[in-house]
Amino acid sequence: MILSTWAPIPTVQYILPTFSLVNCLLTLSAISPTSAAPEQEKISLASNKQYIGRTVEILVEGRSKKNPNMLVGRMRTNHIVHCPGLETLRGRLHEVCVTDCTPLTLVGELCESPAGI
């Protein structure tokens, strides 16, 4: 029977790059998080403007948090749509004629009849 002596496994030393985590964070903090926001807002607004004049189907979720006179709903594509209407439409599919938009939401008016009826 061969007995061997235990020896520690040699460790590999990792050489850190010349920059540290602190330097990385300082560099990232110098890049304003809002510097890209105006460009993204332009892209989102251009994308949402394609819906103006169209009729879209939404599932009415309820009242808007910021404006209680408006309903909020979502399209099948998850776009948020605001429109005036009654709370009784909550949970129903309805068609909305899109009249305006922001970079984040579409704004419209309820069409004559609920979708699917």
Q: How confident is the model at residue 112 (pLDDT cuts 50, 70, 90)?
A: confident
Instruction: Tell me which architecture the domain covering 53-110 has in CATH.
Output: Beta Barrel (2.40)
Question: Tokens 């007995």, residue?
Answer: 3
Q: Torsions phi, psi of 49, nearest 5?
A: -65, -20
Domain coordinates in residue numbering, the chain: 53-110
**Is residue 100 a contact partner of residue 41, using CB atoms and an 8 Å limit?**
no
Say how many CA atoms lie within 13 Å of 71 toward its Cβ.
24
50-96 tens-digit pLDDT = 999 999 999 999 999 999 899 999 999 999 999 999 889 999 999 99
CA–CA dist 87, 11 (Å, integer)? 67
Helix (H, G, I), strand (E, B) or coil at 113: coil
What pLDDT band is residue 23 in, cutting at 50, 70 and 90?
low
